[in-house]
Structure 1
Amino acid sequence: MITKRKALHTMEPLDQTDRKILALLQTDGRLSGAEVGRRVGLSQPAASARILRLERQGIITGYRATVDPAAVGLNIHAVVRLRTTHAHLGAALQLAARTDEVTSTRRVTGEDCLILDVHCGDAGRLEQVVDSLARFGPVSTALVLRDYPDKPLMQYRPTGA
């Protein structure tokens, strides 16, 4: 099991092969080392060694299954923005962490402090979640009409790379 941690500041730089491996695994984390190697032009042992190095460096932080929320009865997806004070931030983060319907939490700059993805089975439960967050400050809610696939992170090159 890979534990989530920050990438080491002294890590080896990523080359094009590492970037290709990362893009492949972000698209399909179940690819075998042999298949990854075939797609990037490496032997299975060489590809597996690179994957292990990327895991050890904290670049690959884990593998997971992606679940369709609607297929499990969570038909409402909302983005909730919370504006709070520094004094209430910790309590708001704790509430978000223990609320099952909150599937992601981002602390952001600007007028809002937190942006949360919320998946609920019905509007009544969304109302309860929003009301529980509103005790920490003004809340703004937007219903998501459609989700589009995420792009693999490693198809982009950071400036200077």
Structure 2
Amino acid sequence: MSQALKIWNTLANKPAGKWTFSKMLCLKAPYFSSISPLFERLEPEYCEIRMKKHRAVLNHLGTVHAIAMCNMAELAGGTMTDVTVPATHRWIPKGMQVEYLKKANTDLVAVATPLQVNFPWNAGSDYLVQVEVKDTSQDVVFRAIITMWVSAKK
């Protein structure tokens, strides 16, 4: 079990536990603090993150900036991958394809899942992660496929 999942399992059901976990993860990877994420659910093959629509993530139109949604997708996809890959393996993002489907005018929720369940972990391969970002009306406003390179630890 990954260190992140151990910490999540310890904190998630405690008062302010999800908030604490979210802040701790942003201390480890400071760039993600720019979107002020809140982890809602984390388990192997699933990660759900919320992001409030706030000034720091807005573009000149007053909607959530495209790159803020990319950050949200990478955080959800990377964290889901981290708690999913076997302890014998490591991972790194290799690429991301994105679709901006609708203006993001509200708070957002990102859900990351693998494109292939029961993935055959081997010496080195691409692991594809799908991330959908929805607004408060449950409309998909953004979609990404993130290619993670997964290989055995040396």
Same fold at TM > 0.5: no
Structure with the larger RCO, 1 or 2 (CA within 8 Å, 6+ apart): 1
More helix by share: 1
More strand by share: 2
Give TM-score, length-normalised by structure 2: 0.27
